[in-house]
Amino acid sequence: MRVFKFGGASVQDVDHVKHVGKILEQYKGEKNLIIISAIGKTTNALETVAEAFFAGRKEDALRLFGDIRKQHLTLAKYLLVLEFNPCIAQLADFFTEVEWLLHDKPVREFSYYYDQIVSVGELMSTCIISYYLKEYKINNEWLDVRDVLRTDNHFQEGVVDWDFTQKAVQSQLLPLFEKTDIVITQGFIGSTDQCENTTLGREGSDFSAAIFASILEADNLTIWKDVEGIMNADPRRFPEAVYIPQLSYQEVIEMAYYGAQVIHPKTIKPLQNKNIPLHVKCFLDTGLPGTLINQHPAKDLPPILIDKQHQALIHLRTLDFSFIEEKPMSRLYKIFRELKIKPNLIQTGAISLQVAVDDQTDKIERFAIKASEWFDVQLQKDLNLFTIRHYNEGVISKYLLGKEQVLYQQNESNLQVLYK
Ligand code: ASP
Ligand code: MG
């Protein structure tokens, strides 16, 4: 058994969806669970629908959703002939689900509505692709992942109920493989025990794929991407980026932690638990070897460069001049947890401390209000955080010389500089 994951970019238009069919043809005769994201930038578009609805701008929400609906109908029209009508009928059910909700008034929290609305992206994409593959004579079954992937009701970041999900995989998913070699389902979404939609956090489809790979004890998981494999830097910003043929689970977790947008950070643990290799392969050129991620430590890694923009530095000093020890730290972490703020870099002094965070203005403002009970709070904006893993003298001078440094931190394997 294999698990494949296709992200939004890999199914962004007619040609890309057709290409998914071509890839699957190469794996004919093998059992394959296919996890798919929403088409292109649909999730972003659905987020604006949820925001408009929650802000009470019902007409805007309906109009924005109307655009998304049209876009999906157009895609179905270009891809389907024989299967067009059944596909449209199923899509209509998804559209109705959302439109009904949009006619209501919001009475619950935003996250709840976000998940009810945004999750339709994956339902629509998988529906169209499943019918396309049928039309293309690739027999497959479509599975509503909400019947299988159970989470708690932490909307926007559902916590997986592994026991339930495991049992549901046995009872609902595995029987489908007796009928067909290919099962298509949604990444990113799940459901509570009250049949409410949940999502696993942005870019969560990688995580979904890992959950299924782990439960199914798959031979491997392949994530198809629009790059050659994992690179040591973002090639759009660093044209000299090189591709890395093999990485360890641990290295990938570290890279994700420091902000490399390679793979959703939660993806690795379930794979590592069962020692399932992860391949990151090039969607457009399937002949390329891609990157293999497994338990073996990688040898001769190039320096890994991660440049995170839009950083803010929060300067904190205890109001009563008490040392930065357990008490102030635990107060700070409590606020971080409440506001879901992830510190990217922390530097402590005797009575002061500095924290670099992603610059999300409203979160930082709320943070400042809460923290000012115990701390003097100052804010510095428009910064970038440059991290180099496996640094050496050459890269340090190449990338850091001439940068106006605000904060510097270094340990055995990482060097981090916050600069203007
Ligand atoms: N469609 C979701 C997103 O864009 C999930 C994913 O792509 O993994 O965040
Ligand atoms: Mg995506």
Contacts 24+ apart (CB under 8 A), 361-369: 363/339, 364/312, 364/314, 366/339, 367/314, 367/335, 367/336, 367/339, 367/341, 368/314
Residue 343: inside a domain, yes or no? yes
- In this structure, how many other beta carbons lie within 10 angstroms of the beta carbon of residue 351? 17
Residue 261 has pLDDT above 90, yes or no: no
Report residue 36 as tokens.
Answer: 């798919």
pLDDT at 315: 97
Q: What share of the chain is helix, strand, coil (3-state, %, to 5)?
A: 45, 25, 35
Q: 1-28, pLDDT tens digit by residue?
A: 999 999 999 999 999 999 999 999 999 9
Q: Indicate the Cα dihedral angle 342, 309, 366, 111, nearest 10°.
A: -70
Amino acid at 2: R
Question: Residues of the chain with pLDDT > 70: what percent?
Answer: 100
d(CA 213, CA 276): 8
Same domain? 51 vs 169? yes
Residue 292: inside a domain, yes or no? no
**Ligand with smallest separation from the Cα of 44:** 1
Same domain? 215 vs 310? no
Same domain? 28 vs 162? yes
Residue 286: inside a domain, yes or no? no
Same domain? 316 vs 206? no
Boundary-marking domain end, from 183, 204, 226? 226
d(CA 404, CA 380): 14
Task: Specify the residue with its C-alpha closest to ligand 1, atom 8.
Answer: 203
d(CA 348, CA 352): 6
Same domain? 200 vs 336? no
Q: 126-160, pLDDT tens digit by residue?
A: 999 999 999 999 999 999 999 999 999 999 999 99
Contacts of 76 by beta carbon, 8 Å cutoff, 6+ apart = 84, 87, 88, 91, 128, 131
Using 50, 70 and 90 to split pLDDT, how confident is the model at 227? Answer: confident
In this prediction, residues 321-330 reach a mean pLDDT of 93
pLDDT at 226: 86
Task: Specify the residue with its C-alpha closest to ligand 1, atom 3.
Answer: 203
Boundary-marking domain end, from 203, 226, 249? 226
Same domain? 220 vs 309? no
Residue 13: inside a domain, yes or no? yes
pLDDT at 29: 93
Contacts of 150 by beta carbon, 8 Å cutoff, 6+ apart = 160, 161, 164, 165, 168, 190, 191, 192, 193
Same domain? 49 vs 150? yes
Residue 264 has pLDDT above 90, yes or no: no
In this prediction, residues 327-340 reach a mean pLDDT of 94
Tally the domains of the chain.
2
Query: Measured in angstroms, how far is the CA atom of residue 126 from the centroid of ligand 1?
Result: 13
Using 50, 70 and 90 to split pLDDT, how confident is the model at 370? Answer: very high
Nearest Cα to 359, choosing from 346, 372, 376, 344? Answer: 344
With vertex at residue 196, the alpha carbon angle to CA 190 and CA 198, rounded to the nearest 5 degrees, is 35
**Ligand with smallest separation from the Cα of 36:** 1
In this prediction, residues 293-304 reach a mean pLDDT of 93
d(CA 334, CA 341): 10
Same domain? 22 vs 122? yes
Mean pLDDT score of the chain, rounded to an integer? 96
Same domain? 24 vs 169? yes
Nearest Cα to 249, choosing from 274, 220, 221, 272? Answer: 272
Atom index in ligand 1 nearest the CA of residue 188 equals: 5
Residue 335: give its domain's CATH number: 3.30.2130.10
Residue 271: inside a domain, yes or no? no
- The interaxial angle of helices 361-371 and 326-339, nearest 10 deg, is 140
Using 50, 70 and 90 to split pLDDT, how confident is the model at 265? Answer: confident
Same domain? 182 vs 37? yes
Domain that holds residue 21: 2-226
Length of the chain equals 420
Residue 165: give its domain's CATH number: 3.40.1160.10
With vertex at residue 233, the alpha carbon angle to CA 256 and CA 282, rounded to the nearest 5 degrees, is 85
Same domain? 220 vs 112? yes
Torsional sign, CA 150, 154, 160, 163: negative
Residue 282: inside a domain, yes or no? no
Same domain? 149 vs 45? yes
Residue 262 has pLDDT above 90, yes or no: no
Boundary-marking domain end, from 226, 247, 275? 226
Atom index in ligand 1 nearest the CA of residue 200 equals: 5
Residue 262: inside a domain, yes or no? no
Q: Does any ligand 1 atom lie closer than 6 A to the CB of residue 192? A: no
Nearest Cα to 208, choosing from 404, 27, 38? Answer: 38
Q: How do strand 2-6 and strand 220-225 relate by DSSP bridges? A: parallel
Nearest Cα to 173, choosing from 3, 10, 8, 29? Answer: 3
Helix (H) / strand (E) containing 287 = none
Query: Measured in angstroms, how far is the CA atom of residue 38 from the centroid of ligand 1?
Result: 6
Residue 297: inside a domain, yes or no? no
Residue 300 has pLDDT above 90, yes or no: no
